[in-house]
Amino acid sequence: MSTQLTEPEQRTDESTTEQPAVEEGEESEGTTIPEWATESEESPGADDDESVRITVFRYDPEVEGKQEPHFDDFYVPWEQGMTVLDALMYARDQFDPSLTFRHSCRQAICGSDALFINGRQRLGCQTQIADLDTPVRIEPLPHREVEKDLVVDMQHFYEQMDAVDPYFRTEATEGGEEQRQSRENREKIKMSTRCIWCGACYSSCNIAAGDNEYLGPAAINMAYRFVMDEREEETIKQDRLEIIEQEHGVWRCQTQFSCTEVCPKDIPLTEHIQELKREAVKKNLKFW
């Protein structure tokens, strides 16, 4: 069932209701009107100068005719500062209420809307349409089972995250005293704490795609966050290193840098994985 949707009349009042909050970088490009938006589009359905075509992956196992994965085109009126998530929401609200995707905070913190946009894992809410080539191709995260449209099964990713105990553990909470951390140590783990569990890195990882047991960049980064945290005791650190130095732990990383490149929070994932590799080696080195 291929949908050829015509555009409704221009709704200028839309712009005031939706103020996409784009944080940290990437916002500068949004202020310039891109070339394709000012030129007149020749494609059918684009009767408006500033409409943008998005091509969205569709699949619905429960609806006859949508069980075969296909792509639907939507023509969405572009406005300054519009993100991919805004475009998707417009398409859902105006054209097809069955269009399904995850989103929540719209400001790159909840990690719900990691999508495969123009061949790269990005957050829908953080990606300016103006920065992309058109038509914008929106697909669910690769290497995940698709549940419906852009919704993928994240269960395995969460299991990998849980495997590294992604929470603070300490033996010294009896007295109830503060757990103090030095400024230097906080700086060291700063970037690793920014993970929003969106799964972009895991989806981009070629090794994780072929090896289901591999912990993946996000989980190893989470391990890094606690291994490097000086507030945890040495015994707990050793526990953590034992998890990540297993066969399908850090050693599966082959430094393709895919995860580092797609991470929407700019976490230097490969660097963290490499550092844990060195920690794992140091743990097992004995000079006697």
Partner 1 sequence: MSQSYDRGLIEDFGRWQEFSAGMWAWVLHKFTGWVLIGYLFTHIAVLSTAIPAATGDPAIYTGTLQSLEQLAIVRVLEVGLLSVAVFHILNGVRLLFVDLGVGLDTQDTSFYASLVLTGAIVVASVPTFISGAF
Q: Which residues of the shown chain bind partner 1 in the complex (CB under 8 A)?
A: 59, 61-62, 69, 116, 119-120, 139-140, 142-143, 145-147, 153, 203-204, 206, 209, 254-258, 260-261, 268, 270-271, 274-275, 277-278
Min dist. Cβ of residue 27 to partner 1 (A): 23
Nearer of residues 10 and 256 to partner 1, judged by Cβ: 256
- Strand (E) or helix (H) holding 187: helix 183-190
Minimum separation from the CB atom of position 180 to partner 1 (A): 27
CB of 7 to partner 1, least distance (A): 29
Shorter beta-carbon distance to partner 1: residue 166 or 268: 268
Q: How many CA atoms lie within 13 A of 99 on its CB side?
A: 25
Between vectors from CA 129 to CA 206 and to CA 7, what angle results, nearest 5°?
120
Q: Which residues contact 244 (CB under 8 A, 6 or more apart)?
A: 164, 215, 220, 223, 227, 250, 276, 280
Helix (H) or strand (E) holding 49: none
User: Which tokens is 285 given?
Assistant: 């080195």
- To partner 1, the closest distance from the beta carbon of 81 in angstroms equals 26
Beta bridge partners of 239: none
Q: How far apart are CA 170 and CA 176, in angstroms?
A: 11
- Which of 259, 162, 269 has the alpha carbon at shortest distance from 202? 259
Return the number of the residue (82 or 138) whose C-beta is nearest partner 1: 138
Residue reference for tokens 């757990």 = 179
What minimum distance in Å lies between the beta carbon of 257 and partner 1? 3
Q: Which residue, 67 or 173, is less far from partner 1 as judged by CB?
A: 67
First to last CA, the chain: 71
Q: Is the peptide bond before 140 cis (omega within 30 degrees of 0)?
A: no
At its nearest, how many Å lie between partner 1 and the CB of residue 270? 6
On whether the CB atoms of residues 27 and 131 are closer than 8 A, the answer is no
Q: At which residue do the structure tokens 């840098």 appear?
A: 257
Q: How far is the CB of 278 from partner 1 (least distance, A)?
A: 7
Nearer to partner 1, 72 or 139 (CB): 139
Cβ proximity to partner 1, 22 vs 99, nearer residue? 99
Considering beta carbons, is residue 59 or 197 the nearer one to partner 1? 59
Q: Closest Cα partner for 51 from 59, 40, 62, 61?
A: 40
